[in-house]
Structure 1
């Protein structure tokens, strides 16, 4: 079967998944293999096929930080599909905690007055404006809002809580400059995927604690919210589903090398003492994600504190599904559900 898959894959390495995605659904399911069912959830067959493809590609072992960063960028291009054309994409700088940060403003063809300040995933160690360019383009167009993607400082060059302080400063800058960005300051939200979801949760908490303008919405896409504890999903999905147990520990050790600092709410927002009064939240979790249970728990804690929560649990998805724009199907439907919920809050009417 791997020989057949290699033939179908062709020259996909370093380009796009089109040689595989154009195959009939019945062929893709055959290439994916027998259905995978764990904890009552069935893995989406197209994602299962993508996992098989990943195993056929050159190893992405994290031998070094530079190599890992290059590998993430290469993988992001592989799964990005064809980036959306927008009305305008502008490079700019925003205020960080200690100097200026690179940023990119995405303006869709039909834009309302809302803005989402977006922080990319990558375990606080990897990722940049380029790795999440395709997703920011797609989200801007589908939600009908501007996206301001911010390149916060990464570990190990900048350990926690530098990224969190950068995120707080950048979000505050966006609110202050809302009119310059063409948006309503009352419709500025914060969001991100994985580590970016962590930073967005921290921003939502710290804006309240510090008396800063609060976001209109917090969008937490399969967020990492607890760098101390572990839950059953870590054991169920810690190998074979893109994000592994080894990955999680590698990221954590680079971002927060001091174990005593990992329970600080600036690092693990699940330990925030008072979650009441926080911005409305969209929390998206995936059924085959080792971070699933902590994301589900954080959504419940927010709701128990009286926060308005829209919890989108995608049973057949894996960690990282929001960025996998090339395969369509159920993955595409899951991406659109996030965008539609964001639109309902930040692009009303």
Structure 2
């Protein structure tokens, strides 16, 4: 997790939350759904309240950026209806349409830090059978399966994945998901890890990480209120 160590530290600080970084299996040795299965197992372990994690506040979130956003979304869908379903989902510029068919792919596919040729190569390693691309595309999954998880979704304007992230937010809202969509028209793909070189990226990332923490805190508060014992009637002890 060297690529995201700094981001995980910022997340812990700015969101005010404990962070568990999952080192999931990678393609091509482990194609889909191996990474999704790994994240699901990790969330099931957290939901079991293992002693290794110490005292945990109510409420669990799941966050991922780029391909990690894709994996996080599919893992949440796989856990729907179980105690391990996260309370909050944070998706940053997710790879949401594995067909790479939307306009931003052609508009921003070269020269902005993320090459569409590289994207196509990565997708082919993760889903070698092209007939299964829809099964692992969040925009397609969202149309068939509503997800009752509060979702914070961010996109970048100069990103080939921009339009599919926006489309995923729209599909989630259409299905009844409480989704907060935050576009960043002047930023590029991967801006959450560019905080050390771009003040604009740092400001946007700080705002998103703090917003994610606020959603988690609000969820924890609601859970505590629901689990609190009712007030005793007058005269009762």
User: TM-score range with shorter-chain normalisation?
Assistant: 0.7 to 0.9
Q: CA deviation at 1:142?
A: 0.9
Instruction: Sort the Cα spacing of 1:281 and 1:254 in 2 relative to 1 into closer, same or farther, 3 A.
Output: same
Output the CA distance in 1 between the equivalents of 2:138 and 2:19: 24
SS of the counterpart of 2:182?
strand
Q: CA deviation at 1:180?
A: 4.1
Q: What are the within-5 Å matches in structure 2 for residues 9-88 of structure 1?
A: none
Instruction: Sort the Cα spacing of 1:183 and 1:239 in 2 relative to 1 into closer, same or farther, 3 A.
Output: farther
Q: CA deviation at 1:227?
A: 0.8
Q: Does 1:271 align with 2:143?
A: no
Q: Which residue of 1 aligns with 2:227?
A: none
Q: Does 1:201 align with 2:70?
A: no
Output the CA distance in 2 between the equivalents of 1:186 and 1:206: 21
Output the CA distance in 2 between the equivalents of 1:287 and 1:179: 43
| Alpha-carbon displacement from aligned partner over 1:157-194 (angstroms, at most 9, x marks no partner) | 10111111111111111221366424546311111110
Q: Does 1:148 align with 2:148?
A: no
Q: 1:326 aligns with which of 171, 196, 207?
A: 196
Q: CA deviation at 1:289?
A: 0.5
Q: Which residue of 2 aligns with 1:139?
A: 11
Q: Contact (CA 8 Å) 2:47, 2:83: kept in 1 or not? A: no
Q: Contact (CA 8 Å) 2:109, 2:160: kept in 1 or not? A: yes
Instruction: Sort the Cα spacing of 1:277 and 1:291 in 2 relative to 1 into closer, same or farther, 3 A.
Output: closer
Structure-1-length-normalised TM-score:
0.60
Q: Which residue of 2 aligns with 1:227?
A: 98
Q: Which residue of 1 aligns with 2:133?
A: 262
Q: Does 1:192 align with 2:64?
A: yes
Q: Contact (CA 8 Å) 2:65, 2:92: kept in 1 or not? A: yes
Q: Contact (CA 8 Å) 2:43, 2:84: kept in 1 or not? A: no
Q: Which residue of 2 aligns with 1:247?
A: 118
Q: Which residue of 2 aligns with 1:309?
A: 179
Residues matched between the structures, number? 218
Structure 1: gaps spanning 5 or more residues: 1-128
SS of the counterpart of 2:79?
helix
Output the CA distance in 2 between the equivalents of 1:289 and 1:175: 35
Detail structure 1 runs of 4+ shifted over 6 Å in the superposition: none
Structure number with higher relative contact order (C-alpha < 8 Å, ≥ 6 residues apart):
2
Q: Contact (CA 8 Å) 2:39, 2:75: kept in 1 or not? A: yes
Q: Which residue of 1 aligns with 2:166?
A: 296
State the superposition RMSD in angstroms.
1.7
Q: Which residue of 1 aligns with 2:44?
A: 172
Structure 2: gaps spanning 5 or more residues: 222-237
Q: Does 1:181 align with 2:44?
A: no
| Alpha-carbon displacement from aligned partner over 1:126-184 (angstroms, at most 9, x marks no partner) | xxx11110110111111111111010000011011111111111111122136642454
Q: Which residue of 1 aligns with 2:155?
A: 285
Of Structure 1 and Structure 2, the greater strand share is in: 1
Q: 2:30 aligns with which of 158, 161, 171?
A: 158
Q: CA deviation at 1:203?
A: 1.5
Q: CA deviation at 1:305?
A: 1.1
Output the CA distance in 2 between the equivalents of 1:218 and 1:183: 22
Q: Does 1:216 align with 2:49?
A: no
Q: Contact (CA 8 Å) 1:288, 1:316: kept in 2 or not? A: yes
